[in-house]
Structure 1
Amino acid sequence: MKSVQDILHLDLDAKALSPRAWAALIIIALISTLPGFTTLPPIDRDESRYSQASRQMMETGDYIDIQFQDQNRYVKPVGIYWLQVITATPLGGEDAPIWAHRLPSLFATLFVVGLTAWFGARLGGAGVGLAAGILLAISMSASVDARMAKTDAVLMAATAVSMVALYFIVVREKAERLAFRGAPLAFWAATGVGLLVKGPIILFVSVPALIVLALWRRDLSFIKRLHILPGIAVMLAIFLPWFVAIMIRTQGEFWNDSIGHALMGKVAKGDDSHGAPPGYHTLLSFITFWPGILLIALGAVAAWRRRAEPTVQFIVAWFLPFWIIYELVATKLPHYTLPVFPALALIAAFGLRDGVELVKGKGVRIAHWIIAALFVLVSVLIGFLPFLLAGEMETTAPATAWLGALAGIAAAGTGIYLALKPTFNRLPPLVLSALGVYIFTFGAVLPNMDRFWLSRELKAEIASIGGCETPHLATIDYREPSLVFNFGTNTLLGDEASVIAHLAGNQACGVAAIGQGEYVSFLEAAEQAGLPLKILGQVEGYNYTKGRNITLTILSHSSSDYPVPTTTGTQADG
């Protein structure tokens, strides 16, 4: 039987991937990221907020201010919104589907996968490069964020460019001064893009890395090669024009919201109920960096044994200081560590390269098998996750969920196979199993779990009633941003008084969806206001942002253009 190297025409020690290896990497990355990309509905809450704000830019023609309906959205800079406008404009503009807004994340992820493979090949040979690219492509967090219209994948791309450029600035055999082009220009330009996408987060990677490298290497000669003054000029040329414009427009409010609340507010206390103790990201990496986490113990030992090598020092400085910072920050979310996942993938790839020798040590072997045991448990858990989710929603999972479960079990088995003898030729079965999980879970199972997508189901139910081509929706109790993306900017996420006024003022096509917790109270308020209502239907679903089942009753003015379904009453009680 031919080895993987023979099939891919791959020299593991070469400094570049073969064309076949590049083709294999691209195919793997696409299979990891595309299932469900166009079929998953808008996800609450961040994705829907980002996408709706981008849509409103296209609606208003205002590409400076950031608004979600009539509310300021100043938690992040404008970069991601501009990118979404660029990808959505040729695909329908303000009417573009949600996947058009996801394209920047997809393109960014594919780019980082390729960059990681190229960089890894330069550092440790084509085997390391291809393994690192694959492990990043199939990592859970990168795969998920490639499907979401948010900042994180784009930030990972900007960070990766800045750090790869920084490597060629800092880790050089000769200390001559570089011209301000190539690596220095790429570093500062990528930093400017990172600032425009997610503020100073990109600096939380590069600045601590530089400090650690300076202390570790006892060498500051790289400072002159950074070209700090012209570099800052390039960085500010990218970020500053919009920043000045938004500060003038908002009279400084953007600074207060983005830095005071969105950034500093997350440091000392858990923001929006997302607080967690130190160790959160490390424990969660068994999911976020699955399945590459299987090789992380070997990678850590390989890095320790090679700690005197400048390449290893750089990779460790890339991810470890940032990781520690985010373990200490009070607010924690799974995607926060994504900017350093390329470095984790490189560490894991080095562990795979040296794995056979490393597992000969007793201590290493024990640590390796502890990780492997946890990997098996997590793999099975990931495979059966749709069933757990269905149980939480008090429903049944689609039949295709069993295929995802089998893929999860296969991942556990192929993981053991790889753990027994960590070599490049034993990696493909694990890769195929992980891809199976993503194909079935994201491509077949999640899009068809109707109760999970309450906004989509509400839109479909109102459309099936007919009578109005453009319903004017108002809601009470269920107030998720995906409603606004599905029904339009003028959707009212209101209270009793505003919804009553909405129905009274939009008698023909006004429609309201009232959660069961507010239903009786709303009927009483409508009766007191003299507002006649008719019931059009009900939708049951699961509000995953709050972790509870909910029933929405659909109402309109009694004289509306909506026909009353024969299975419902014609008049609301009261």
Structure 2
Amino acid sequence: MHFTIFFTAHTDSLLALGVLMAYTGYARHRTGRVRGFPWELWLGVLLATSAKGPVGMAITLPGMGLEMLLADSALMRFSKDAWIGLWKRIRAIRPFRGLALAVSLIVVWYVVAGLEVNWDFVRAALIYQNFTRFLTGLDHEHGPWLYFHTIWGDFFPWSLLLPFGLVAAWRLRAELPWRLALTWALWTVFFFSLSVSKQSKYILPAAPAIVLLSLGGLVWLFGGQAKRARRVAGTVSLSILTLFAFLAILVLPGLIFPGLIPVPKTVQGLSRLRAYLEKHPAPLVSYLYPRPPTIYALYPLRHAPIPFVRSARALYAEIHSGVIRPGSYLLVYRDALPAANRKVTSRTLSPPPNPRDFARVFSIPAQGGLILYRLLPTIRHMPVPKTPQPPPWHWWDQFDTD
């Protein structure tokens, strides 16, 4: 699960490790296995904060606070003794000394970076990476429900058991392990759902909690006290098997006897695109990350990932610098082009390709519309168009660690 991401996104891996350390230390402290200052908890927060700045604290400490709130149902009745108990639980983890430890390394790093590089770099790293991306999205703008439909594939096969784990955790929330796994997973996904900038790897810190919930759901499901849930699980499993059998009946004859079953228009269009590129070979660049059907259709042509640019700013900068040269192809999805009835976002190709410099050579209706442009020789003399520059500085791209 996420092996490629773990090896390529180093800061995200350190964040996930720090969060795991923090929650493990918190659990050991809450069960009385650790007396005195909870070093494991706060060293985990320190590692998470050092990897991703304030985000490290934002996805650990509130989750622990939620666990403390759920620990005593009397809090909802505004019982004085319950609130006094909550304050004692907060004091027990030594919050002031812990916060001082958690920010010590990152503050030193900011100071050294400011002195050795410059303070603009610190501003870019602190403001852009933590606040600008959270509030504006820039190159990773997605709707609030992204993780609710990506989590099933990202955490497969654990995701199949996750609904049962969530139900079991809520019913057994009086027990610390269930309660902590529940708040850890839900708070992490909720926090990153609030962010305008979203990618699947952002919720990696919740992976241990999601796996624990899924395994706990399996134990609860077959523990003898969840007869109705077992019937639901059996029905779902049977439905999935039936669906796979149905798809196999539809697909296998077409693979064995080509032409027996009509080919979907998307597949036909992408096949024509591949045939065109085979007949007229040239370097290919995609505007934004190419969608899975496109990658699948063009992989036999390239046997390598399709190069892509993440923004209009990056596209025109690479054209201007000569990285993308005349004669190259540019692949653009129609919904990335400006339109009167469409909101301009950070993913919009603005300004759109000018016919004087970009020749439209191919288009298909697949995936909402796919257009292939070819860069003309006049592109060498094209002035670099002004594209929106995100705060804090126009050169933030060189400091983008994502």
Q: Which TM-score applies when normalising by structure 2?
A: 0.58
Q: Which residue of 2 aligns with 1:217?
A: 71
Distance 1:215-1:522 versus aligned 2 partners, 3 A rule: closer
Q: Which residue of 2 aligns with 1:341?
A: 207
Q: Deviations over 1:219-277 (max 9, x none)?
A: 43343442344434433343222211223456543454344333323444443252213
CA contact (8 A) 2:59 2:191 kept: no
Mapping of 1:159-174 within 5 angstroms? Answer: 159-172=19-32
Q: 2:49, 2:298 → 1: CA distance?
A: 34
CA contact (8 A) 1:276 1:330 kept: yes
Where 2:42 maps in the other structure, the secondary structure is helix
AA aligned to 1:261 is Y
Q: Which residue of 1 aligns with 2:43?
A: 189
AA aligned to 2:190 is I
Equivalent residue in structure 2 for 1:311, among 177, 180, 183:
177
Shift of 1:390: 10
AA aligned to 2:187 is P
Shift of 1:344: 0.4
Equivalent residue in structure 2 for 1:280, among 142, 146, 164:
146
Mapping of 1:317-466 within 5 angstroms? Answer: 317-357=183-223, 361-362=227-228, 365-366=231-232, 369-370=235-236, 373=239, 392=270, 394-395=273-274, 450=302, 452-454=304-306
Q: 1:315, 1:375 → 2: CA distance?
A: 30
Shift of 1:349: 0.5
Equivalent residue in structure 2 for 1:178, among 35, 56, 60:
35
Q: Which residue of 2 aligns with 1:243?
A: 110
Distance 1:368-1:168 versus aligned 2 partners, 3 A rule: farther
Shift of 1:362: 3.0
Shift of 1:522: 6.9
CA contact (8 A) 2:328 2:374 kept: yes
Where 2:35 maps in the other structure, the secondary structure is coil
Distance 1:449-1:267 versus aligned 2 partners, 3 A rule: same
Q: Deviations over 1:444-499 (max 9, x none)?
A: x99876265345xxxxxxxxxxxxxxxxxxxxxx7679xx9xxxxxxx8342xx65
Identity %: 19
Q: Cα RMSD over matched residues? A: 4.6
Shift of 1:162: 1.4
Q: Which residue of 1 aligns with 2:257?
A: none
AA aligned to 2:98 is G
Q: 1:270, 1:152 → 2: CA distance?
A: 17
Where 1:275 maps in the other structure, the secondary structure is coil
Q: Which TM-score applies when normalising by structure 1?
A: 0.43
Distance 1:312-1:390 versus aligned 2 partners, 3 A rule: farther
Distance 1:273-1:234 versus aligned 2 partners, 3 A rule: closer
Q: 2:190, 2:318 → 1: CA distance?
A: 39
Q: Which residue of 1 aligns with 2:127?
A: 260
Shift of 1:324: 1.9
State the number of aligned residues.
295
CA contact (8 A) 1:159 1:339 kept: yes
Distance 1:366-1:196 versus aligned 2 partners, 3 A rule: same
Equivalent residue in structure 2 for 1:493, among 303, 314, 318:
318
Equivalent residue in structure 1 for 2:15, among 148, 151, 155:
155
Q: 1:319, 1:202 → 2: CA distance?
A: 15
Q: 1:372, 1:264 → 2: CA distance?
A: 46
Distance 1:521-1:283 versus aligned 2 partners, 3 A rule: closer
Mapping of 1:91-106 within 5 angstroms? Answer: none
Distance 1:368-1:145 versus aligned 2 partners, 3 A rule: farther
Q: 2:181, 2:173 → 1: CA distance?
A: 10
Q: 2:44, 2:19 → 1: CA distance?
A: 7
Q: Deviations over 1:116-151 (max 9, x none)?
A: xxxxxxxxxxxxxxxxxxxxxxx3xx2341342443
CA contact (8 A) 1:295 1:348 kept: yes
Shift of 1:297: 2.2
Distance 1:312-1:149 versus aligned 2 partners, 3 A rule: closer
Q: 1:375, 1:227 → 2: CA distance?
A: 51
Q: 1:550, 1:201 → 2: CA distance?
A: 40
CA contact (8 A) 2:63 2:184 kept: yes
Alignment of 1:201 with 2:55, yes or no, is yes
Distance 1:246-1:312 versus aligned 2 partners, 3 A rule: same
Q: 1:331, 1:493 → 2: CA distance?
A: 23
Shift of 1:339: 0.7
Q: 2:103, 2:20 → 1: CA distance?
A: 19
Q: 2:156, 2:15 → 1: CA distance?
A: 20
AA aligned to 2:318 is L
Distance 1:549-1:287 versus aligned 2 partners, 3 A rule: farther
Shift of 1:295: 1.0
Which runs of no fewer than 5 residues in structure 2 stay unpaired?
Answer: 73-84, 253-263, 276-296, 331-352, 359-368, 378-402
Distance 1:302-1:273 versus aligned 2 partners, 3 A rule: closer
CA contact (8 A) 1:514 1:552 kept: yes
Which runs of no fewer than 5 residues in structure 1 stay unpaired?
Answer: 1-138, 397-444, 456-477, 485-491, 503-510, 524-545, 555-574
Q: 1:226, 1:553 → 2: CA distance?
A: 64
Alignment of 1:143 with 2:9, yes or no, is no
Shift of 1:207: 1.2
Shift of 1:366: 3.0
CA contact (8 A) 1:287 1:378 kept: no
Q: 2:244, 2:122 → 1: CA distance?
A: 41
CA contact (8 A) 1:298 1:355 kept: yes
Equivalent residue in structure 2 for 1:294, among 156, 160, 170:
160
Q: Deviations over 1:539-562 (max 9, x none)?
A: xxxxxxx976566899xxxxxxxx
Q: 2:301, 2:8 → 1: CA distance?
A: 18
Q: 2:20, 2:268 → 1: CA distance?
A: 37
Q: 1:360, 1:227 → 2: CA distance?
A: 40
